[in-house]
Structure 1
Amino acid sequence: MSTASSTPGTHSTAMRTHLCGDLRLDNAGQRVTVCGWVAHRRQHGQSLMFVDLRDHSGLLQCVVDGSVDARSEYVLRITGTVSVRPEGTANPGLATGDVELTDCSVEVLSTATPPPFPLDERADSVEEGTRLAYRYLDLRRERMQRNLRTRSAVLGALRSAFADSGFVEVETPLLMPSTPEGAREFVVPSRQFPGSFYALPQSPQLFKQLLMVGGMDRYFQLARCLRDEDLRADRQYEFTQLDLEMSFVDVDDVLGVVSSAVLAAAGAAVAGSGRAMPPIERLTWHDAMNRFGVDKPDLRFGMELVELTAIFGNSGFKAFAGAPAIKGIRVPGGSATHNRKALDTLTDRAKKLGAKGLVWMRVAAAGALESPVAKFLSAEELAAIVTATQAQEGDLLLLVADEWETACEVLGQLRNDLGRPPAGEGELRFVWVVDFPLFVGVDATTGRPKPGHHPFTRPHPSDVEKMESDPLAVRSLAYDLVLNGWELGSGSIRIHESELQQRIFGLLGISPDEARQRFGFFLTPFGYGAPPHGGFAFGIDRLVAILAGEDNIREVIAFPKTQSGLDPMTGAPTTVDERQLRELGIRVVVPATVPQAAPSPRPAAAS
């Protein structure tokens, strides 16, 4: 190997002095060595060849005298002199576009089979299954490199922030008892105890609370969690969450620590991008629903829900008269973009979301409202609608009359459908949603209230006296962190007293015997002195996806599954050898009604 003399870069090794993307005009005249993959090769006759060499830092143009067998994705080591590009040949779209490597010597470190798709932005249009089947090639692309390095920056900033705040990083078990009252679990058979199974953790919830009983005071973990749930853009079987728990705290303490850490992580990820990041706001659950129609509001755009109920207190329009709640949204400029067919589609959408119907109104000149129902409303009612919604000519108004929660939820979904920007656009709008209901409705079979969270969530101290008399009015000390309409995570202050815990169990219909059977290993330690404590957990994958401007968390995970749960690269899930099954005491019985997954496409071996 030839030796290069230069001022080494920060990534210098025995084989290179600099990264491809690090060289600038300041390096002109230096003799350097770079290593990477051939992104492009342009041969000019027999005497001159241009090679664009790529590593994770970027591209560098190398001018090679003569011809070298260096095809697409060959791995090369090139030594040359950093030179200013000739006048008129600089490339302003490239970070290294002012320089090139000349007087080059080339060493082929590895040959390569032609890749099945181009390893640049053109791969974005390639079918996802193909990209995942060759994920190791997909990862070479600038987009994927950027996303995973953003993820690394987020993880590093979070670890640093929590360590600086006195948290101790503790790893909790991956093999634990089954807790089937949560999401569907992945189970692992025990060889030593045939017929018994471990469960893979859906979260470290129980263990982290026991760490507080153990006096750890402040715990955090970048925890791997698994849930056997249907996959979608923001969900994978296995995911990473930042998990934490704190002793002797209230809601403000937890929110303060998490806010500082998340803002530090977001700042590290978007540094230099120009994306604005206002302070984290706070909304109660009721206000979030009332203003935005969802408990994970996207604050990047307006179109807030407007309260209209009082306008129609004595209305002659039967659909509005006596309705528990009437709410509306204003769609700026929506009259021009919604013809009658589009309005019918919106009405059908509202009905599918649970509304009895949808009233639409176009705002014409001088604030006049054009609508099939306008003839049923008085002039005073029409004028009041315009005033309340601040309607302007050309706007579209959408109204729903129904139960309060239904009206909010339907308009909230329509608001997102019509106005929500893509993930990578606009500001980063974090918001805490607090004071969630402790119970969400009543079980039709048992007549008992249904918990809104896990049964260890602490009720709001102002509402404890209502638990038996009016449980649906009880708020909880639970909180969610939302970013640009995505729920990042949730947490709560926990119940640490046995008496209050038993009251909650009683409301849920869980007897003392059943509580001991289901939660005994968790509740028994609390009898030895449990401190007041609370915690939080949020999804790293979702946070990084938003910071990276991606709509799908698969784009920020190195080796994800497809939406059907398959791994095209490894072929997982696969069958297990019969010998292993016998050793575990397991016989596989596949119900005839269960469709069999087609074998995953596996990449051909390189020739």
Structure 2
Amino acid sequence: MFRTHTCVELTAKEEGKEVTISGWVNSRRDHGGVIFIDVRDRYGLTQATFNPKVSKDAWEMANGVRSEFVIKVVGTVALRDKDMINPKLKTGEIEIKATEIEILNTSKTPPFDVSFIPGEEGKQVDAMNKVNEDLRLKYRFVDLRRRRMLENLQFRHEVIYFMRTWMKKRGFMEIETPILTVSSPEGARDFLVPSRLHPGKFYALPQAPQQYKQLLMVGGIDRYFQIAPCMRDEDARADRSPGEFYQLDIETSFLTQDEFFDLMEPLFGDLTKEFTNKKMLFEKMPRIPYRESMLKYGSDKPDLRIPMEIQDITEMVKDCGFSVFKEVVEKKGVVRALKVPGGAKLSRTEIEKMTDEVKTLGAKGLAYIIIESEEKFKSPIVKFLGGELTKKILKEVKAKAGDVVFFGADKHEIVEASLGATRVNIAKRLNLIDTTKLAFCWIVDFPMYEWNEDQKKIDFMHNPFSMPQGGMKALSEKDPLEILAYQYDIVCNGIELSSGAVRNNVPEIMFRAFGIAGYTKEEVMDKFRGMVEAFGYGAPPHCGFAPGIERTIMILREESNIREVTAFPKNGRAEDVMMGAPSVVKSKQLKELHIKLDL
């Protein structure tokens, strides 16, 4: 037997019992000839003492153990002396007076310290917090022993278990979909898998189970979900893992968009209550049209905890004396203002730094007015605007003494990006974000299409499988760039958790929608034959979305990097430095797959 108890279970109630524990050597100390070893497993710490008067053999063997050795200890539970009790440990009242020790395995010196130390409320914390990430990823099997990683993975497990239970209670069926599938244009590059049996042909790893889950709807499965692995060949970000990630993939039949929202919103409220001490900022999630979100927040994933909105003042300044604003309006651009409460405290250096930041987003600069009093302003542009217009603008944005107003003037895309970034950066600098809240919202009414400047053509803005608002009539009669789609995102605290849509389930409408984006009927059939053919056999109205597992856990757990909630992540260069992937393969393997490396 390796253990009768874990390293967190023993208390004063077990006094006098013979027990067995197993784990890693967290620390070893020698005091007055008695050896103290803290034994660690994923649950916690237990102290074992080795006294030559109790067992000389055990004492001699304990003398040779080192950090991270794997050991088994047999002994009797005893109460610690009062002055030796550690109230910060759940096992701090007791120790094991060891009679036997077995070294189950030795260990090299770890590349970094993974030991626990007692924290508050009986919890353990990592002795060493700051470790080089590349080193952590190379030795991930060691890194996983750290308290933070163990707790994050336990948290992830509990969240996923909660999701599964929640979905089952609401009539959803969990179904696995294929991993080897067909390549399709879904927004990112595919990972391709060559076929040995079919030379020159390739499978693709799924970017999402999009087509399969829609086919399940055709098959009569009206409520489907899956903890789905998704593979996309895209660059890394703090909230995006390069290569692979998981999502709570969901699809439903016979629900309108609003009915779907009403069904799924409680999931996020329940997750918040179960796994955080935070409050939902909104009892019912706001539903914000895409264009309104871009105007007010400069982003389609707004952080609604920030008490600032961008306002359009284009009409107000179209005939003003400030040539920069006037010329932008004449070129069909926009002028927008962002009021920052208490922003007058920003230093000139901080304002210059923010100006440099927006220049990287394409803006030419960042005009501003600092309001020192009702009649006194500090600004390089007031003399051009004139006192009357300046006061009119400040009244419009409800600015008062102590505030600052920033201005963006350019094409709407540049103004949105620059003022949106400024809004977030200033909120962080001035501590305007209420970190006790989770601000969920829906972004709705996305444009169906956008102009692809690189290819000089109309392209899908997001999901090509979405139903256009207005159906065939809109596709036939409206300017494509004015057509809205039944597409939506769910956003929390400035992070997009998921995109979703009411699906296009009518083949004729689908052909027309793809045709506007430049696809022929033959190309659509070639790419999506299985789904298009299935839709000819009675596809019900259906909709869904797929919240990212890692992103959801990041928010609930208050982690800033997706790699902290993933057991074996890739680094920022999409490399698995522990396993050595991607790697060179033998020429024999390439030959079997009919692949020749000749670029």
**Alignment partner, residue 487 of structure 1:** 496
Choose which of 519, 523, 526 in structure 1 pairs with 2:535.
Answer: 526
**Alignment partner, residue 408 of structure 1:** 416
Q: Does 1:110 align with 2:105?
A: yes
Contact 2:254 2:542 (C-alpha < 8 Å) held by counterparts: yes
Structure-to-structure mapping, 1:13-24, within 5 angstroms = 14-24=1-11
**Alignment partner, residue 51 of structure 1:** 37
Q: For residues 542 and 234 of structure 2, what CA distance do their matches in structure 1 show?
A: 29
Q: For residues 373 and 300 of structure 1, what CA distance do their matches in structure 2 show?
A: 30
What whole-Å deviation, never above 9, does each CA across 1:323-369 have from its counterpart, x for those lacking one? 35332223344443422x43233223223213343102223245632
Q: 1:266: Cα distance to partner? A: 4.2
Q: Is the deviation greater in 431-440 or in 17-26?
A: 17-26
Return closer, same or farther for 1:408/1:390 CA change in 2, 3 Å cut-off. Answer: same
Q: Is the deviation greater in 425-434 or in 195-204?
A: 425-434
Return closer, same or farther for 1:366/1:32 CA change in 2, 3 Å cut-off. Answer: farther
Q: Does 1:269 align with 2:275?
A: yes
**Alignment partner, residue 10 of structure 1:** none
Q: For residues 378 and 514 of structure 2, what CA distance do their matches in structure 1 show?
A: 54
Q: For residues 110 and 383 of structure 1, what CA distance do their matches in structure 2 show?
A: 76
Q: Does 1:380 align with 2:401?
A: no
Q: 1:237: Cα distance to partner? A: 0.2
Contact 2:489 2:497 (C-alpha < 8 Å) held by counterparts: yes
What whole-Å deviation, never above 9, does each CA across 1:175-217 have from its counterpart, x for those lacking one? 1122246311111111111121111111110111111111111
Contact 2:78 2:97 (C-alpha < 8 Å) held by counterparts: no
**Alignment partner, residue 242 of structure 1:** 248
Q: For residues 202 and 454 of structure 2, what CA distance do their matches in structure 1 show?
A: 33
5+ residue gaps, structure 1, are 1-13, 592-607
Q: Is the deviation greater in 65-74 or in 563-572?
A: 65-74
Q: 1:300: Cα distance to partner? A: 2.6
Q: Give the aligned residue type for 2:309.
A: E
Contact 1:439 1:450 (C-alpha < 8 Å) held by counterparts: yes
Q: For residues 546 and 86 of structure 1, what CA distance do their matches in structure 2 show?
A: 43
**Alignment partner, residue 122 of structure 2:** none
Contact 1:285 1:434 (C-alpha < 8 Å) held by counterparts: yes
Query: Secondary structure at 1:21's aligned position in 2?
Result: coil
Contact 1:117 1:126 (C-alpha < 8 Å) held by counterparts: yes
What whole-Å deviation, never above 9, does each CA across 1:508-541 have from its counterpart, x for those lacking one? 2322233223322221111111111111112111
Q: Give the aligned residue type for 2:542.
A: H
Q: Does 1:76 align with 2:71?
A: yes
**Alignment partner, residue 429 of structure 1:** 439
Q: For residues 212 and 473 of structure 1, what CA distance do their matches in structure 2 show?
A: 30
**Alignment partner, residue 348 of structure 1:** 356
What whole-Å deviation, never above 9, does each CA across 1:458-512 have from its counterpart, x for those lacking one? 1224995376332222221111111221111111001112232232123223222
Structure-to-structure mapping, 1:240-389, within 5 angstroms = 240-270=246-276, 274-278=277-281, 279=283, 281-282=285-286, 283-321=288-326, 323=329, 324-339=333-348, 341-366=349-374, 368-389=376-397
Contact 1:541 1:553 (C-alpha < 8 Å) held by counterparts: yes
Q: Does 1:206 align with 2:211?
A: yes
Query: Secondary structure at 2:477's aligned position in 1?
Result: coil
Q: 1:397: Cα distance to partner? A: 2.5
- Normalised by the length of structure 1, the TM-score is 0.87
- Between the two proteins, the alignment pairs up a number of residues equal to 570
Q: For residues 442 and 453 of structure 1, what CA distance do their matches in structure 2 show?
A: 12
Q: Does 1:161 align with 2:166?
A: yes
Query: Secondary structure at 1:480's aligned position in 2?
Result: strand
Q: For residues 147 and 554 of structure 1, what CA distance do their matches in structure 2 show?
A: 10
Contact 1:23 1:99 (C-alpha < 8 Å) held by counterparts: no
Q: 1:64: Cα distance to partner? A: 3.3
5+ residue gaps, structure 2, are 53-58, 116-125
Q: For residues 432 and 214 of structure 2, what CA distance do their matches in structure 1 show?
A: 37
Q: Does 1:194 align with 2:204?
A: no
Structure-to-structure mapping, 1:60-75, within 5 angstroms = 60-66=46-52, 67=59, 68-69=62-63, 70-75=65-70
Q: 1:313: Cα distance to partner? A: 4.9
Q: Give the aligned residue type for 2:94.
A: E
Q: Does 1:99 align with 2:93?
A: yes
What whole-Å deviation, never above 9, does each CA across 1:19-67 have from its counterpart, x for those lacking one? 2234455656655433221111121021x22222211122233333244
**Alignment partner, residue 586 of structure 1:** 595
Q: Is the deviation greater in 572-581 or in 347-356?
A: 347-356
Q: For residues 315 and 276 of structure 1, what CA distance do their matches in structure 2 show?
A: 45
Q: Does 1:215 align with 2:215?
A: no
**Alignment partner, residue 577 of structure 2:** 568
Query: Secondary structure at 2:546's aligned position in 1?
Result: strand
Q: 1:87: Cα distance to partner? A: 3.8
Q: 1:97: Cα distance to partner? A: 6.2
Q: For residues 175 and 370 of structure 1, what CA distance do their matches in structure 2 show?
A: 62
Q: Give the aligned residue type for 1:59.
A: L
Q: 1:371: Cα distance to partner? A: 0.7
Q: 1:236: Cα distance to partner? A: 2.1
- Percent of aligned pairs with the same residue? 39
Contact 2:363 2:410 (C-alpha < 8 Å) held by counterparts: yes
Q: Is the deviation greater in 69-78 or in 391-400?
A: 391-400
Contact 2:497 2:552 (C-alpha < 8 Å) held by counterparts: yes
**Alignment partner, residue 174 of structure 1:** 179
Q: Give the aligned residue type for 1:493.
A: V
Q: Is the deviation greater in 560-569 or in 405-414?
A: 405-414
Query: Secondary structure at 1:320's aligned position in 2?
Result: helix
What RMSD over aligned residues (CA atoms) do the two structures have, in Å?
2.7
Q: For residues 107 and 544 of structure 1, what CA distance do their matches in structure 2 show?
A: 40
Contact 2:223 2:250 (C-alpha < 8 Å) held by counterparts: yes
Q: For residues 26 and 305 of structure 1, what CA distance do their matches in structure 2 show?
A: 62
Q: 1:559: Cα distance to partner? A: 0.9
Contact 2:498 2:546 (C-alpha < 8 Å) held by counterparts: yes
Q: Give the aligned residue type for 1:399.
A: F
Return closer, same or farther for 1:177/1:465 CA change in 2, 3 Å cut-off. Answer: closer
Q: For residues 504 and 299 of structure 2, what CA distance do their matches in structure 1 show?
A: 27
Query: Secondary structure at 1:113's aligned position in 2?
Result: coil
Query: Secondary structure at 1:514's aligned position in 2?
Result: helix
Contact 2:487 2:499 (C-alpha < 8 Å) held by counterparts: yes
Q: For residues 422 and 52 of structure 1, what CA distance do their matches in structure 2 show?
A: 44
Q: For residues 433 and 153 of structure 2, what CA distance do their matches in structure 1 show?
A: 17
Q: For residues 543 and 136 of structure 1, what CA distance do their matches in structure 2 show?
A: 24
Return closer, same or farther for 1:304/1:28 CA change in 2, 3 Å cut-off. Answer: farther
Q: For residues 532 and 411 of structure 1, what CA distance do their matches in structure 2 show?
A: 39
Q: Give the aligned residue type for 1:113.
A: K
Q: Give the aligned residue type for 1:353.
A: L
Q: For residues 192 and 409 of structure 1, what CA distance do their matches in structure 2 show?
A: 49
Return closer, same or farther for 1:367/1:302 CA change in 2, 3 Å cut-off. Answer: farther
Structure-to-structure mapping, 1:453-472, within 5 angstroms = 453-461=462-470, 464-465=473-474, 468-472=477-481
**Alignment partner, residue 526 of structure 2:** 517
**Alignment partner, residue 4 of structure 1:** none
